[in-house]
Structure 1
Amino acid sequence: MDREGELREFVSARGAALSRAAYLLTGDHQAAEDLVQETYVVLVRRWRKSGTVDPEAYVRRILYTRFVDGWRRRRLVEVPWASPPDTPAGDEAGTAGDRLTLASALARLTPRQRAVLVARFYEDLTESQAAAALGISTSTVKSQTRVALQRLRELAPDVVTSFEGVET
């Protein structure tokens, strides 16, 4: 299969997961779509040169880097949502409420803290894998995880029970 066919196959297979990760990073559907588009632009430009690099790790690194770079460029102050986002139909009321509370708490973390939590707990990366994906040291991943989890415990103490087994 040619490289362009491999790229199409990879994007169709992993596009939804990439979109979900982008949403968790940004907390906004439109911003997530923009982040995924930026990631695809970089990926397409570099695809032929990527050679034998693991495409999953490669695209994840691009996504996280574009997210953190965008935050550095803009230095925008994030504003909490005026109203909660729409939740998918069929969710139980308690679960939907927990999701909204957690989403609100995540939106109040710094972009780097969100990126670390998404890499560690959503993408299920080890500390060293998350450090490589984010372009930071392992000790920074550890400290950012600890600080972010503590902040989440303060902002949403009833919801963060899923993280309680995590060593910080």
Structure 2
Amino acid sequence: MKTPFKIVFSLLCLSLFLVSCKDENSIQTYFVDHQELPAFSSYSVSSSVVDFSKANLTEEEKATYKSIDKLDILAYKMNDGEVDVYAQELDKAKAVFKNKKYEELMEFKDKGINVNVSTIGTDDTVDEFLVLASSKDVGFTVVRVLGDNMKPEQLIKLTDKLQNADVDEGQLKNLMDLFK
């Protein structure tokens, strides 16, 4: 009779340990907690949305493109008269970006849009980029770029090639409609 008690007690202790280790301020937790809320829209976009075949990429640029797996996007659209709700939700998103496991890469403001870019990884290779873009007029968007050994400087160069790439607009239509 003592053996079942030990097993149950051990499982209970293990469960408590695992629950206590949950990082409440992680981007994954933030996405899971908010993606089903009515004020938010959630999208997952694979890297195949962009076709660089006509963009004349170098081998290094092709490797950079292949290092990107997908983008997870969570958007909050600003509604008239909900300034307080917007501010509260934006504060929650900003709190995630202050998590010590995320390293701030840059923060800037452009045409009334505040942008914060953070990473998980080393100085040379990144496994995750996090972008928080917010505007009091429109709302805010959290973008999580997942990949494997992405190189920040190469990704910046690759964005210049986007103008020569074909983008599957069908997959992005709902996201673009959100901010019209």
Same fold judged by TM-score > 0.5?
A: no
Normalised to the residue count of structure 2, the TM-score between the two structures is 0.27
Structure of greater Rg: 2
Normalised to the residue count of structure 1, the TM-score between the two structures is 0.28
Report which structure shows greater RCO (CA 8 Å, sep ≥6): 2
